[in-house]
Amino acid sequence: MKREETRRQRYDHKLKTAKRYPISLCAINFRVDDNLGYLIRSAACFGAERLYVIGHVPERSSLKASSGSLINYVAIEKFKNPSEFLTQMEIKGIQIVSAELVDGAKSLFTYNFNFDRPICLVVGNEETGVPAEILQHSDIVQIPMPGVGYCLNTSHVANILLYETVKQYPLD
């Protein structure tokens, strides 16, 4: 079966009724560009307002395929380092929620998001996680994993965080 519309036309059509939430996503200096593309796709699918990137942002053309061509529907803002990111979050009054496997992290399954102000969900670098400087200014959550594995891919973590945040968002 052949589709009548292009992917871009379908996205533009859905954009008319798509929901946007005062939620953003933050990625830490990805070395694997596909992960960043997957985060763009996740942000667009769950209605996040933007994607913040601390570190390297590849050319848009290299992100097109892994983002499902959604690169044009998500605002991307780049920061040089965690301090610059934290300063902007404070200026904008954005609450930070980071996903990290550390002592004291709250289970995402029991965490209640506070929607009194916009939220930024931070996912760490594949190798180094979320920088300590950001964790010190965050609510820290972890995703319980009862199986043999203990660490998800960054894009999977983002999907779960976005899903849970949107699920808890008050109905209009």
pTM of the model: 0.93
DSSP 141-164: EE----SS-----HHHHHHHHHHH
**Residue 55, both tokens:** 């570190």
Spell out the per-residue pLDDT of the chain, length 172, in tens.
567 888 888 888 888 899 999 999 999 976 766 789 999 999 999 999 899 999 988 888 888 888 888 998 999 999 999 999 999 999 999 999 999 999 999 999 999 999 999 999 999 988 889 999 999 999 999 999 989 987 888 999 999 999 999 999 998 6
Closest CA to 25 of 167, 158, 170, 165: 158
C-alpha of 2 from chain center: 33
Beta bridge partners, 25, equal 51, 121
